[in-house]
Amino acid sequence: MQRRVVVTGLGWITPLGTSLDGVWRSLCNGESGVGPITAFDTTNFDCKIAAEVKDFDPVNYVDKKDAKRMDRFVQFAVAAAGMALKDSGLELGKEDLNRIGVVVGSGIGGMITMEAQMKRLAEGGPGRISPFLIPMMIMNMAGGQISINFGVKGPNFSITTACATAAHCIGEAGEIIKRGDADVIITGGTEGAISPLGFGGFCSMKAMSTRNNEPKRASRPFDKDRDGFVMGEGTGILILEELSHAQARGARIYAEIPGYAATGDAYHISAPEPTGEGASRAIKLALAKAKMNPKEVDYINTHGTSTPLGDKIETQSIKNVFGEHAYKIAVGSTKSMTGHLLGAAGGVEAIICIMAINHKIVPPTINLENPDPDCDLDYIPNKARNMEVKVALSNSFGFGGHNGVLILKKFTA
């Protein structure tokens, strides 16, 4: 019998806050976490807005000395992992730590640290570079620091697939449990790259919204007047657990992950394949692995970034799979409120799907005022909807043609 994978703990750091229930309320109320950038001077930047994490102090979660040796994306990850572990009720002192692993990735990694050290190199030469530069900035250090901080010794690695990072991490973490290499995995994605270089790179691509005078209305997925995504930061961490292990300790089970798939577009470094074939194939494969009929899907948390091409093509990819049933599915984008958290997006959005299943409500797509004729599905415009969600699907698509799809299901014994 195949081992079943369930979710027993949740933790997030978001532009709307860090409380599980508090952020959920904000999402259901249609609140936006977007505002003018405070991290650096945007005078010479075309885009001046982002979805920043506010009032985050790492010393509330890790030792002050250790915090100084972590980049922002790592601080987020360790903090959210602690929240998720606490939420799960796992007592690590009673567990076989060799059977608890970590799969946490980042799309960009320690950009803030790299910029700071490049400045020191330019101003003072190589002797001014910190010996902690490399272990602060490399992608895998979020998972490494989680392992070190909580003493877990199972499989530990990172996946980096741009904006599909967290979805791939969660999906592959589930595969590790299914094949029996671990009983528990701490997994998700993390990002903290709102810095002049990281931000400036996206500006140069003309990928971001320049609705600077109306930041809370800037992220507008599926709206005819959308002009690009809004960059965000944060972390979404889940505790995945083998079902019998969770049941043996009397864990609360939030949801089950019965299906996951990853595909490649083989098309372009940043643009999605025009017919949505790669994304459609990922959805179909995930449904097949879950042994589900497409008509069982109630809610899709879309990639929905608010880019002119991306939203249109994702809409088409959904129609490719679901046909007429696509019009009966609630298809929302919470990036309208959180901004695009890049490598962390799939983690936060998987948690949103799980909360929708447990609270019987789906958050809205805000700022949807002038629907794009090419985007004609039910995007839950501007107001949350009370509805039963038994099966949710979470889409994540990354630069380079990386597609990741997770299926989250109401748990039944």
Which residues form the catalytic set? Answer: 163, 303, 340
- Give CA torsion, residues 386, 251, 90, 356, to 10 deg: -10
Which residue from 342, 23, 397 is spatially nearest to 192, judged by alpha carbons?
Answer: 342
Read off the amino acid at residue 145: Q
CB 398 within 8 Å of CB 163: yes
> Which residues touch 342 (CB under 8 Å, ≥6 apart)?
107, 108, 162, 163, 165, 191, 193, 231, 232, 233
CB 51 within 8 Å of CB 206: no
Which residue from 214, 216, 229, 390 is spatially nearest to 302, judged by alpha carbons?
Answer: 229
Helix (H, G, I), strand (E, B) or coil at 225: coil
Helix (H, G, I), strand (E, B) or coil at 235: strand
The residue whose two tokens read 């007592």 is: 91
Q: Which helix (H) or strand (E) holds 285?
A: helix 277-289
DSSP tag of 94: G
DSSP tag of 378: B
The residue whose two tokens read 């979404």 is: 236
Classify strands 100-105 and 184-191 as parallel, antiparallel or unpaired. parallel
Separation CA 336–CA 221 (nearest Å): 6
- Quick one: tokens of 337? 């409120």
Range 38-43, long-range pairs (CB < 8 A, 24+ positions): 39/194, 39/195, 40/195, 40/196, 40/199
Separation CA 58–CA 183 (nearest Å): 29
Q: Which helix (H) or strand (E) holds 6?
A: strand 5-13
